[in-house]
């Protein structure tokens, strides 16, 4: 029974019993894993702020193979992404990123590229120099690529004037917007995240691209639960 130490990002937490939480974490070496953090909701716990959503944390636990939920022994914050939590617009897109990672990835599916993408996206979203729309669009495009349903080859085909069979609405959109849409998305896909500030898309264009990618991901993954965060923040903004 070895003591294992991991860096992880908190995707989601839920109450368990009176003082504990079940935490869904995304790690570099093991992918998404569910843990139980005992006693962390107690007012006497020194770890109550560690397991907030989107925190980058370090945990240690005794890995027991026959245990369905590993028990966290120790934990500490590395980065709480405090700037995101003070900005409603950034918060919306951070939660949309977490929702995608939580619902469109499988437990124990090792995905170091996914962890790097998640960590970098939250880090740049937390900064002051990057527009939240561009960061989220960068995340969407690259998440699709590392998940094996990338849009890049489709975009390259469309540049060669090959029309898609218009079965899905995202394909209709690709055909409708033509080279302008395709060139912009390809620029982001061919860039590093630190370079996305070079592309100054209008807010309306970014929203258009983001909606296209939400539709694309929805049609390429077998999931019934997806846009909950988007709908929640839409109601908040209306009110």
- Class of the CATH domain delimited by 3-80: mainly beta
Compute, in degrees rounded to 10, the torsion defined by CA atoms 137, 140, 145, 146: 130
CATH 1.20.1440 placement within the chain: 83-238
Q: What integer pLDDT is reported at residue 171 of this predicted model?
A: 63
For 89-100, letters b (16+ CB in 10 Å) and e give: ebbbbbbbbbbb
CATH 2.40.50.140 placement within the chain: 3-80
Tell me the C-alpha distance between 151 and 142, whole Å.
Answer: 9
Q: What integer pLDDT is reported at residue 166 of this predicted model?
A: 47
Q: Which residues contact 160 (CB under 8 A, 6 or more apart)?
A: none
Per run of 10 residues, the mean pLDDT along the chain (length 239 residues) is 88 89 94 90 77 95 82 93 94 95 92 96 87 90 90 58 50 62 75 76 81 84 74 74
Q: What integer pLDDT is reported at residue 186 of this predicted model?
A: 78
CATH number of 83-238: 1.20.1440
**Which helix H or strand E contains 175, and what residues bound it?**
helix 169-189
Q: What integer pLDDT is reported at residue 211 of this predicted model?
A: 86
Residue 10, CA distances (Å) to 18, 146, 213 in order = 20, 20, 24
- Asked whether 114 and 31 are in contact (CB, 8 A), the reply is yes
pTM exceeds 0.95, yes or no: no
Q: What integer pLDDT is reported at residue 188 of this predicted model?
A: 81
């Amino acid at each position: 029974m070895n003591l294992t130490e991991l860096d992880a990002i908190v995707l989601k937490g839920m109450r368990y019993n009176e003082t504990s939480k079940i935490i869904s974490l995304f790690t570099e070496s093991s992918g998404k894993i569910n843990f139980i953090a005992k006693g962390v909701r107690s007012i006497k716990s020194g770890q109550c702020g560690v397991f907030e959503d989107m925190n980058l944390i370090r945990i240690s636990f005794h890995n027991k193979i026959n245990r369905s939920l590993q028990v966290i022994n120790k934990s500490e914050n590395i980065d709480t992404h405090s700037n995101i939590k003070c900005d409603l617009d950034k918060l919306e897109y951070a939660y949309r990123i977490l929702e995608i990672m939580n619902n469109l990835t499988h437990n124990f599916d090792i995905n170091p590229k996914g962890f790097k993408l998640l960590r970098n996206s939250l880090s740049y979203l937390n900064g002051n120099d990057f527009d939240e729309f561009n960061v989220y669009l960068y995340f969407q495009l690259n998440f699709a690529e590392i998940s094996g349903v990338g849009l890049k080859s489709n975009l390259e085909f469309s540049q060669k004037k090959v029309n898609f069979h218009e079965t899905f609405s995202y394909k209709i959109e690709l055909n409708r917007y033509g080279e302008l849409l395709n060139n912009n998305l390809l620029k982001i896909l061919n860039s590093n995240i630190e370079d996305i500030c070079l592309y100054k898309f209008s807010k309306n264009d970014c929203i258009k691209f983001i909606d296209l990618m939400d539709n694309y991901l929805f049609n390429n993954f077998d999931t019934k639960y997806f846009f909950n965060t988007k709908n929640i923040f839409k109601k908040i903004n209306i009110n």
